[in-house]
Amino acid sequence: MKKLVYLVIFLLGFGLSAQEGHPLYNAYLFDNFYALHPSMAGVSDNAKIRFLYRDQWTALDDGPNLYSLSGEGRFGKNVGLGALVYVDANGNTEQKNVQATYSYLIDLSSNRSNFRMLSMALSYQGSILTYDVSKLLLENPLATNDPVLASGTTDFNHNVGLSASFVSDEFFASVSGNNLVPISTSENFNEQQNQTNLVATVGNAFSLDNGGVFYIEPSVSGIYRFANDYQFADLNTKFYYNNKPSAFRLWTGVSLRSVYDNDKVSMLGVTPMLGGKYQKFTFGYAYQIPLDQYVSENFGASHQISIGLDLFEDTRRQYCNCSYK
């Protein structure tokens, strides 16, 4: 219990100075660590396929929404491979993204009941940004004479990312740098050339009973954007019920999002969530509630669902209370 108190204090302190900027910022809460940290490719003892959908700001007729599909797994003893595609749409703007990852895994375990692993990864990250001008041209036909619209409304970017993770039976910590190379944008898009962001996640599972059927997992994930010094953090707590060693697991939790800006901390929203796993299938749902009254009344809440499939599980390793399993 003392270890739990110390970790919560650390997470709260870290969270006040951590940061945001990744469309899949909370995918790891739905057993999709790879979407946020590419170095998690191949760390688990099974291959994972994950689909995620988010409907943001439901009070808006054409509010933001996101679709993502990812797959990752281990090939041989020391190689992990992963791939991720997602579409982030907001009104007339749509961004298609792709990520391909190679990770190198170092097994530090002394035996199968004492799991330890270090992973380092290199990722290719590409994006296509498109602006749909059809509505604008329909409302204003004279806009066809605009040289900006006539010269095209699509922008392509290529980039790289680096990531590292350390995991054990109950502990996990990852840090990732995304979009490490400054981009060159067309004159038609007012994008910042420096889109580098740093992501850090740390958490630990603590058993609440001698049998390890019930346990609690506090964690924090923060993102820092270098271009505008914007800082976000998510403080999370999940509660698990494991019917081990069977393939049935239920969990529920809550996430609190904060932002550090202009020398003050503001709470943006709270997200209750629930999910589980049955045999090879996983599922999860989250409902994000904005804490700002103006946002709540004019934009509304957000929904997120996730479904997944686990393949080729290595059942020889002892069952662990690890959320990434």
Helices (H), 201-241: none
> pLDDT, tens digit, for every residue of 295-319?
776 777 888 999 999 998 765 454 4
pLDDT at 260: 74
Taking residues 79-94, report their average pLDDT: 88
Which residue bears the tokens 């530090």? 108
- Which range among 220-224, 228-232, 286-290 shows the weakest confidence by mean pLDDT? 228-232
Position 68 pLDDT exceeds 70: yes
- Per the model's pLDDT, the better-predicted residue between 101 and 278 turns out to be 101
What is the CA 118 to chain-centroid distance, rounded?
20
Cis peptide before 245 (omega within 30 of 0): yes
pLDDT at 185: 56
Using alpha carbons only, give the angle 41, 53, 168 rounded to the nearest 5 degrees. 30
Q: Could you state, in order of their start, the residue ranges of all structural domains in the chain? A: 2-311
> pLDDT, tens digit, for every residue of 115-164?
889 999 999 999 888 877 666 655 565 555 555 555 556 778 889 999 99
- Per the model's pLDDT, the better-predicted residue between 297 and 76 turns out to be 76
Taking residues 276-287, report their average pLDDT: 91
* % of the chain beyond a pLDDT of 90: 36
For the chain, give the mean pLDDT. Answer: 79
Tell me if residue 4 falls in helix, strand or coil. helix
Taking residues 84-107, report their average pLDDT: 90
pLDDT at 149: 55
Position 2 pLDDT exceeds 60: no
Position 51 pLDDT exceeds 80: yes
Tokens read off for 115: 């799991």
pLDDT at 142: 56
Nearest to 96 by CA among 105, 109, 84, 104: 84
Position 283 pLDDT exceeds 80: yes
| C-alpha radius of gyration, the chain, whole number | 21
Position 243 pLDDT exceeds 50: yes
C-alpha separations of 298 from 90, 132, 226 in Å: 16, 24, 30
Tell me if residue 19 falls in helix, strand or coil. coil
- Which range among 30-44, 186-200, 257-271 shows the weakest confidence by mean pLDDT? 186-200
CB 27 within 8 A of CB 71: no
Query: Check: CATH 2.40.160.40 for 2-311?
Result: yes
pLDDT at 134: 64
User: 78 falls in which pLDDT band (50, 70, 90)?
Assistant: very high
φ/ψ of residue 190, rounded to 5: -90, 70
- Per the model's pLDDT, the better-predicted residue between 180 and 212 turns out to be 180
